[in-house]
Amino acid sequence: MSTSKLIILKIIIFTILLSLEKNTNGQQIIEGIHYETGHPVRIIVNNGIIENVIALDNAVSDRLVYIAPGFFDNQVNGFTGISSSFGEVYLTYEGIEESTAELWKEGVTTYLPTLTTNSIEVLTRNFKLLSKALNDKKLLGSIPGFHLEGPYISSEEGYRGSHPTQFIKPPDWEEFLKLYKASGDRIFQITMAPETEGALDFISNCSRKGIVVALGHHNADMRIVSAAIDRGAKIATHLGNGAANMLNRHNNPLWPQLADDRLNISIICDSFHLLPEEIRVFYKVKGAEKTIITSDVTQYATLGPGIYKTSTGEELELTTNRMLRYPAQDVLYGSVSSISKGVGYVMRVTGCTLGEAFRMASSNPARLYNLNDRGVLEPGKRADIILFTIKDYQLDIEKTWVQGKLVYEK
């Protein structure tokens, strides 16, 4: 056998070995190319926790299977059809379980179900239903809490996006506390407009309870944005979206959120919500440390092109190229792409490394919500692990473990 053929054979054999999950003395051993270093590692898992990460000496090619922490998506509106729309009237618990299992296939091991603007009755009902997932052993802690986007947002056309006008209102602390109780005290983040009446005091109240306040669907100026951050606001929700199509070139909500170094941002990188040059600018300003990749994925992700109606009568269009539009406002209505697409896309348009992309899609959200047991491959952390290949900036998930349990294998 020639030397070149022998080398190729060794590479193939090592590729197979790296993708194997082994069990030794009750331990799991998972091997792959480390997402940050580019070198092969062996991860030892014991009782759902990473026990050790060992560097291997073997020289490998870049075509091998990568290993990384699972994705943490902080804005999931739904995923698998109408019954899993977290913020609308037809949510079922079966839909929650089904969505979680489907998200595991996409490499998402932690996510925040996101409830958007609706009646307080619907929001209360769905928070109560979702709260059952917090202690559901079948879900393995993939749902640690929730994101409430609205109803305390701007009612201005454009800024409200596709949120139904009839349910938008100024912040009401006592009303919110009822929603918070219904959630099992697990509303981790609320997205709101800081310029509305009573919003700044509301932000202070949330901050005292440890709730992450996000600025979104708003038209606040520099003074109000700064005041909101002074009160404890920490992040801008899907920056560049939830804004009017026509903006004043100087006085608009984008500049103050970019200019304040205290504020993190989340961005939707599905190739529709932001232009490549917008993503590059945002990334240059905030960097990998202050940016979170989110999906804003909806229950329409698994449906085909067509015209659909929400439970509040809003008409949507899912185009053949997978853009989800809200024609009445000529804006987008969330996305139909999982976060894995965003990771590849942000690498392509910014030139960031795979490690930096995973920092934005795994480590940063875990840090933001003080979930220090996940988001990185380190001893003592949850064994939320994915194996994947990447080609032409497209990630292909091979296996997913949640708390050391293999929940998906391609």
Determine how many CB atoms are found less than 10 A away from the CB of residue 311: 15
pLDDT on residue 6: 43
DSSP conformation letters of 5-33: HHHHHHHHHHHHHHT-EEEETTEEEEEEE
3-69+375-409 under CATH 3.40.220.10, yes or no: no
pLDDT on residue 198: 98
For domain 71-368, the CATH class is: alpha beta
- Distant-in-sequence contacts of 309-314, Cβ < 8 A, 24+ apart: 310/85, 310/88, 311/85, 311/88, 311/89, 311/90, 312/88, 312/118, 312/164, 312/166, 312/167, 314/162, 314/164
* One-letter amino acid of 360: M
How many Å apart are CA 64 and CA 389, to the nearest integer? 7
pLDDT on residue 12: 43
Contact in structure between 383 and 403 (CB atoms under 8 Å): yes
Query: Which of 162, 74, 183 lies closest to 120 in space, CA to CA?
Result: 183
Q: Provide block-wise average pLDDT over 10 residues at a time, the chain (410 residues).
A: 46 45 73 96 97 83 80 94 77 93 97 96 96 96 98 95 94 98 98 98 98 98 98 98 91 97 97 95 98 93 86 83 84 87 98 98 98 98 98 96 97
Collapsing DSSP to helix, strand or coil, 50 comes out as strand
pLDDT on residue 102: 95
Owner of token pair 């919110």: 176
Owner of token pair 């618990």: 93
pLDDT on residue 290: 98
Is the model's pTM score more than 0.85? yes
pLDDT on residue 231: 98
pLDDT on residue 24: 54
pLDDT on residue 19: 47
Contact in structure between 9 and 2 (CB atoms under 8 Å): no
Edge to edge, the sheet with strand 331-332 lists 306-309, 315-318, 324-326, 331-332
Contact in structure between 295 and 362 (CB atoms under 8 Å): no
Q: Can you give the residue ranges of every domain in the chain? A: 3-69+375-409, 71-368
Is 294 exposed, middle or buried, given 0-12, 13-18 or 19+ CB atoms closer than 10 A? buried
